[in-house]
Amino acid sequence: MTAPLRLGIAGLGTVGAGLIRLLSDNREHLTIALGREIVVTAVSARDRSKPRDCDLSKAVWYDDPVALAQSPDIDIFVELIGGEEGAARAAVEAALKAGRHVVTANKALLARHGVALAGLAEQNDCALDFEAAVAGGIPIIKTLRESLLGNRIDRIYGILNGTCNFILTKMQAEGRPFAEVLAEAQKLGYAEADPTFDVGGFDAAHKLAILTSLAFGTQVAFDEIHVEGIEHISEADITAADELGYRIKLLGVALRTASGIEARVHPTMVPKHSAIAEVSGVTNCVAVDGDRVGTLLLVGPGAGSEATASAVASDIIDIARGGGVPPLIVPVAHLKPHRRAKIGEHQGAYYVRLSVFDKPGAMAAIAKRMGDRGVSLESIVQRRAKSALPGASGRGEPGAPATVTLITHETTEEAIRGALDAIESDGNVSEKPQMIRIETL
């Protein structure tokens, strides 16, 4: 049997502790399967005294993760610190320069510095593996790097953030407002005290940036992704979607177009009958359209200590077996520049919600603005605001804005946005128009 594979783990939160437990619990099975033992020889974290649900008695403690990354007593540096700069970046760079293999779950680091880090790994003949950085326990990175290498990928999309999916699922199932469900998500630990990173779509965009590079052989380009969050999704939108035969999901979508790569994160209406509409709670999913296999859909836990630790362990096992796939599938020198398709050129159908003042000519003016930009309407539904006054009939309060829901035929993003800007500037609506793209998956 060959010498043990020695790990240095930086970051001992829930994932780090979960990884150590996994390696301990499955020690005998892994040793037999790999022909060598995997041992945790060194660790690093901010607080040495913090209680942790794992055995660290045989590991050397490093206060400085960079020193751990450079240690000659490890073969693989496992970075579970998080963050795109600071200690995480410094330690990963130090490990690669020192000739250590790196396994990381850090999506933000890869979305910002993936090309540079992949270059360092190639220069120093090191592995840089990151299965846990996208979609938790779903093996999408390995699928793209290995299983689908013989395919031309034309589109990749999915639910990439469990927090948003939990919120939208609860809003739909229980008829509750966004703020109330967000508070529950925070209480359950699914959302941070400052939830902007999740509900604003940025977490999903980091993951989509990585998937886009792997799928299309382009440089990682987080800043080229169009990002919208779910903060403005209302109960009215959820109800309208349900009545129209849709569910609202926050999707990350990347596809090839004639003008470049169209990469976007935003709320999307998907048909109720589609498989992706049935993905609920904190579950993630990723769909890949390949020219040989057609569409594959991978569904599973997108976060959590055990699922993420499983993904980290899969990378460690690949390295133990001598896997040698370039970090971004093709060598860095062969990555194509990311050529961004203009979001205004996106074509599709749209859902629009307007709060229209009850005054003569308002609807005619709205229809004209749509027509001026060539936007054809498939349906129009109007609901007058209910009166809160005692004894009111409930048929609607005279003079109050009416909620008008529009579904367009296929049009361009540029056309619908132009029409909505004009409608808002006309003064016929009481609030900013709501627009949600419709995807027929």
The pLDDT tens digits for 182-196 are 999 999 888 888 999
| Whole-number pLDDT of residue 390 | 45
Report pLDDT digits (tens) over 315-343. Answer: 999 999 987 789 999 999 999 999 998 77
Mean residue pLDDT across the chain:
92
| Whole-number pLDDT of residue 269 | 97
Evaluate if pTM is beyond 0.75.
Answer: yes
| Whole-number pLDDT of residue 345 | 77
Amino acid letter, residue 294: G
Distance in angstroms (rounded) separating the CA atoms of residues 178 and 345: 31
Q: Pick left, alpha or beta for residue 260 (phi over 0 → left; psi -120 to 50 → alpha; otherwise beta).
A: left
The partner residues of 10 in beta bridges, in order of sequence, read 44, 79
* Range list of β-strands (E), 3-152: 5-10, 38-44, 60-62, 76-79, 101-104, 128-129
Query: Residues 270, 268, 308, CA angle at the centre, nearest 5°?
Result: 95
- Percentage above 90 pLDDT, the chain: 82
Report pLDDT digits (tens) over 165-185. Answer: 999 999 999 999 999 999 999
| Whole-number pLDDT of residue 387 | 44
Cβ burial, residue 432 (10 Å; 0-12/13-18/19+): exposed
Q: What dihedral angle (degrees, nearest 10) is formed by the CA atoms of 361, 365, 366, 369?
A: 170
| Whole-number pLDDT of residue 344 | 67
Q: What dihedral angle (degrees, nearest 10) is formed by the CA atoms of 429, 406, 202, 184?
A: 80
Whether 117 and 96 have beta carbons less than 8 Å apart is answered as yes
Q: What dihedral angle (degrees, nearest 10) is formed by the CA atoms of 322, 328, 330, 336?
A: -170
* Domain architecture of the chain: domains with CATH: 5-104 (3.40.50.720), 140-302+329-334 (3.30.360.10), 344-438 (3.30.70.260)
Whether 202 and 164 have beta carbons less than 8 Å apart is answered as no
SS3 call for 61: strand
Mean pLDDT computed over 132-140: 94
Report pLDDT digits (tens) over 360-418. Answer: 899 999 999 999 999 999 988 887 655 444 444 444 555 678 899 999 999 999 999 99
Cβ burial, residue 43 (10 Å; 0-12/13-18/19+): buried
**For the chain, how are helix, strand and coil distributed in percent, rounded to 5?**
40, 25, 35
The residues annotated with a catalytic role in the active site are 207
| Whole-number pLDDT of residue 1 | 56
| Whole-number pLDDT of residue 325 | 85
| Whole-number pLDDT of residue 399 | 60
Mean pLDDT computed over 346-364: 91
The answer on pLDDT for 203 being more than 50 is yes
Tokens coding 264: 């976007």
Q: Is the dihedral angle over the CA atoms 127, 106, 62, 39 positive or is it negative?
A: negative
CA R_g for the chain:
25
Helix axes 86-97, 107-123, angle to 10 degrees: 20
